[in-house]
Every structure is written in C-alpha cells, then in structure tokens.
Amino acid sequence: MKKTIFLLPLLAFCGLFYCISAQDEMKPEDTEVWEPEPVKIDPGESAASPPSDAIILFNGQDMSAFNIPEGTEWVVGNGMVTISPSEEKRETPVVITTKQEFGDIQLHVEWRSPAEVRGEGQRRGNSGIFLQQRYEIQVLDNYNNRTYSNGQAASVYKQQIPLVNACRPPGEWQTYGIIYTAPRFTEAGELESPAYVTVMHNGVLVQNHTEILGPIKFIGYPEYEPHPLKQPLGLQDHGDAVSYRNIWVREL
Ligand code: MG
C-alpha cells in the first residue's frame, strides 16, 4: 500500500514530464490534418457594402486605421491595398494591427490572391485575418491547391477545417463575413468560455459557431493564455502579394 502511495505521484510527475517533452519534440506536420478534404463548390456572385453602423477599417484610400511596423509594406492604390511580396516574409510572417481594439465583432473583409500563380501549398497567396491578433482565419489561394485541410482558406489555422472549399480562382475578389465571440477569462486568468467563430466565405457558411482552441500555434497544440477582452485585429504579411479592400467591422 505504502509503495502505491509513493508510486502514484511519481507516475503522475513522469507523465507530465513526458507530455511536456513530447510537445517540445513535435514537428509542424504533427498538427496538419489532411482528411477529410472539404468538398469544392462554386460560391456564385455576391457583393457587400458597409452598413451605416460599421467602423470602416479600410475604404480603399489609406491604411491609417492600422499600425504598420517597420519592414512590412502595404501599398494602397486602385481602391485596394496590396502586400509587397518578400522572400523574407515568406519565412517569417509579420502581422499588422488595427489601432482600435475589439471584443465581439462582425467583420467584413474582401481579399484577392495574386492572379499570377506562384508556389504551392501554404506558399500560394498566404495571408490571414488575425482575430484579437492571435486567432487566425487563414487566407490562402486554395482554388486548385491542396494543402492540409486545417490550414486551407477559411480554416481556423491548424485547428478547424472549413465545411466546404468556397474559393474563387486567383485574381478574383473573395469575401469573408466573420462573426466572432471573444474568449472570456476569470480574474484569476482561467478560461471561462472559449472564442467562437462563424465564417461565410463568398456568402457560403464554412465555419458554424466553431470553437477556437487557442492562439495560433505552428508547432504543437494551442493553449489559451488570458488577455483583455478588447484586442486589435490583425492582417498577416506572409510575403505573398495578397490584396485587401472594403474592410469594416461592427462591435457586438
Ligand atoms: Mg496565413
């Protein structure tokens, strides 16, 4: 009996140590999910102009609603903003953030991957919408480009697979309609309720009140860390010449 009492905590300790070291030894591929592959559909035509109570983040004129750090270039012209392509950012992406901070929101974003197809998998028209600057809704050219399902366009990156693949061809404008509920944390920093997201891709439901499992994690499994209710929105520069226009948000 005495032996068991001694052994149990030891086993628990070893188990914990094993879990931590297993996470340390993980590779990016370990959290890629390839099956099932979302069925490809045709999203049809659609357009959206901002409602009267929307906060306009980008109306085609200037990027003054965003903080743009050194070393990333967002070029405004012809009613859109386009990321300057960069080999460096293909290796080390950078996220620009809004000056205003948001909690629960409805977000409208229009994006376009470069008409000239270059690269494959995650290296083709990669960008991203960063909810609260840490939860990524993937932007990627997946019109004819297979990658891991939980990393394709409209996935919660490395977490949740979209219901279908509603991508338009590269060079065409696409919309994301996003309804986001921020996570809640107790004063002690414990997770009270996770974040949830609903996404319409080109008007098609692709994430239906989907639970977000934690901040984006390229290697290993996500884990929540407490943060204030309101946080900036972000857009990812992953080195590809992705364009954006007509970005607006409504606080809920
Ligand atoms: Mg991305």
Q: What is the DSSP string of 194-211?
A: --EEEEEETTEEEEEEEE
pLDDT recorded at residue 24: 79
Q: For residue 130, how far is its CA from the centre of ligand 1 (angstroms)?
A: 9
The helix (H) or strand (E) run that includes residue 11 is helix 2-24
pLDDT recorded at residue 1: 44
Residue 187 tokens, joined: 């004063």
- Model confidence over 108-132: pLDDT tens digits? 999 999 999 999 999 999 999 999 9
Q: For residue 138, how far is its CA from the centre of ligand 1 (angstroms)?
A: 5
Which parts of the chain register pLDDT below 70? 1-22, 44-48
Q: For residue 18, how far is its CA from the centre of ligand 1 (angstroms)?
A: 31
Q: For residue 238, how far is its CA from the centre of ligand 1 (angstroms)?
A: 7
Q: For residue 174, how far is its CA from the centre of ligand 1 (angstroms)?
A: 15
Q: For residue 244, how far is its CA from the centre of ligand 1 (angstroms)?
A: 14
Q: For residue 95, how far is its CA from the centre of ligand 1 (angstroms)?
A: 10
pLDDT recorded at residue 45: 64
Q: For residue 7, how far is its CA from the centre of ligand 1 (angstroms)?
A: 46
Residue 204 tokens, joined: 């098609």
pLDDT recorded at residue 8: 52
Q: For residue 38, how far is its CA from the centre of ligand 1 (angstroms)?
A: 18
Q: For residue 9, how far is its CA from the centre of ligand 1 (angstroms)?
A: 42
Q: For residue 142, how far is its CA from the centre of ligand 1 (angstroms)?
A: 12
Q: For residue 127, how far is its CA from the centre of ligand 1 (angstroms)?
A: 4
pLDDT recorded at residue 51: 86
What is the Cα–Cα distance from 140 to 202, expressed in whole angstroms? 14
Q: For residue 158, how far is its CA from the centre of ligand 1 (angstroms)?
A: 10
Cβ pair 111, 240 in contact under 8 A:
no
3-state secondary structure 37-60: CCEECCCCCCCCCCCCCCEEEECC
The top-level CATH class assigned to 53-251 is mainly beta
Q: For residue 4, how far is its CA from the centre of ligand 1 (angstroms)?
A: 49
Q: For residue 250, how far is its CA from the centre of ligand 1 (angstroms)?
A: 23
Q: Which residues contact 164 (CB under 8 A, 6 or more apart)?
A: 38, 39, 40, 41, 204, 206
> What length does the chain have?
252
Q: For residue 11, how far is its CA from the centre of ligand 1 (angstroms)?
A: 40
What is the Cα–Cα distance from 83 to 95, expressed in whole angstroms? 11
Residue 4 tokens, joined: 């068991």
Residue 249 tokens, joined: 């948000």
